[in-house]
Chains A and B, each alone.
Chain A
């Protein structure tokens, strides 16, 4: 032995890597000035919503590393999430967190569409909802000074960490919502095999890592009549959740930091078909890392639709848990879609041989058939 005769492919890969790097560094088109190399800090702070998407789909709360991945991936969110997730899969498990109460969220934004006002108040926060989508010319000429000035004008510091009562608490007190049942154990979907039917905690975990666009598509289908959901956004919260970890020695819970999350609860009126008793209001829940309102709302609607499907059989695509859960992972879908670029000439040759054999038999016995 003592030889490693690898031909062809090695050189091709090296050349591809070089070409890719040239594109990343600005070889987009000859006339295009690449500008300054992007600082990771700039990506992290100025492309915050992209970063938030990537930490959500990558499945790990590490915004700085997400920014790094975005830079490395030339800004492709799927590719960036993939880099982050592959890195994550190798990390050791430090411990398990306890259930966190999101009433303790340090609120950045919090709205309810269900009531005019709610205890704790409506907090509009940084929202694009009421913007006119017109180009802002001043962005063509910005400076660090203009940035600092804008930050200084931040209207009132974000609300203090306070116990914001959840809007649904009031409904529950009135008996309109089912009481909170025994909570099901959380499922680590990165370590437990996926076997259908899967419990709700596993579904929620899959959706929390799901691709925003895919979740949106499924949720949108329920709004358009593929499923009868009459949802109201009971509450949408964006804020920093104090994360508590058990102390390695004492086991006592200690605050280890904060994580920005988006959480949404939708309520759907009228109850289940099979459950006896008076009608009730039903919940759907969505939550994800970072500031991603579309994803949290879409996830909550999918959660509601999936529970309906579980209860009385799926009648629409978004109510079928296997259909939804198997098709919302952007990283898997992207990988498999792209794998079709790999050579398939062995299978294609077998297809051709199969058709040739079939045609030969046709020619032999004409159209009559067996």
Chain B
């Protein structure tokens, strides 16, 4: 068990967060309110995910922290430094395959997750209904009654107006046929990875003080009309061909577009580790 000086949070906080997590796993997709603690990291920078990581990590765990798919992004580095300092015996890693806990902002690794791993998400807006209803008390009623019509109407209006649902990330999805969740600002590309996943996905919204979860092997269905299928990002060039990563040549990953000084763009894998793995980790030596 966690020692008193392990993991920054006091034992009372750890117990409360773990209890909230158990409830979240037992009622998939339900947002469990909890007394989010003040962390030495600013609100909005991942305090929700951080509290989850600190509550579940144990000595011997291997933590990977990514922001926008990158391990060396400034915020990821900052969070990782904090976690490693607060959790003696927890080893930082960048390889997805080696991690036991992965804390992320905005991406799910391309490499399929394996049983034994835990995904932890930093969540800015825990409630998918926030885009149609600002009042939380009203949103709680809507969730309780399964009253999602206004969200569906937004989809209808979008398809009429834009021929497409105008939600590119934070795409709402129904979990286990009941609650609709905001899967955090992951792109549509990542949403199918939640469906019947091998691992638990834990979502922490520190500022909004909610925890929710998708247990392993649980159905996660993007909200979509039967005859207007949900589509992920296409990454096609002007000729309609799928773009490839300029570095590892993959044509089945989420890509970053990097504008070049002379015009035009370079496209490469967003998931840095997936790209490195495909190249056989050229920088590892």
Contact = CB atoms under 8 A, between A and B. Distances in A.
Indicate, yes or no, whether A interacts with B. Answer: yes
Interface of A: 1, 3-10, 12-13, 82-83, 85-86, 88-90, 92, 189-197, 322, 326, 331-332, 334-340, 342-347, 349-354, 356-358, 361-362, 365, 369-370
A247 B39 CA distance: 31
Q: Which of A192, A347, A350 has the most CB of B within 10 A?
A: A350
Contacts of A9: 72-74, 76-78
B8 A339 contact: no
Contacts of A352: 257
7 contacts: A9-B78, A190-B37, A339-B124, A343-B75, A345-B68, A353-B234, A369-B163
B38 interface: yes
Chain A contact residues, majority secondary structure: helix
Contact of A346 (B10, B35, B94, B254): B254
A331 B256 contact: no
A107 B93 CA distance: 58
Interface string B56-81: 00000010000111011111111010
A61 to B, nearest CB: 16
A208 B8 CA distance: 26
Contacts of B235: 353
B43 A336 contact: yes
A8 B124 contact: no
Interface in B234-252: 234-235
A193 B42 contact: no
B189 interface: yes
Interface residues of B, number: 70
A197 B137 contact: yes
B231 interface: yes
A127 to B, nearest CB: 33
A358 B162 contact: yes
B92 to A, nearest CB: 5
B209 interface: yes
Contacts of A3: 284
A335 B39 CA distance: 11
A362 B163 contact: yes
Contact of A322 (B40, B72, B136, B186): B136
B44 A336 contact: yes
B229 interface: no
Nearest to A320: B135
A356 B255 CA distance: 15
Nearest to A333: B43
B80 A90 contact: no
A190 B77 contact: no
B33 A194 contact: yes
Interface stretch (B113-121, B145-153, B164-172, B213-221): B164-172
Interface string B27-53: 000000111011110111101000000
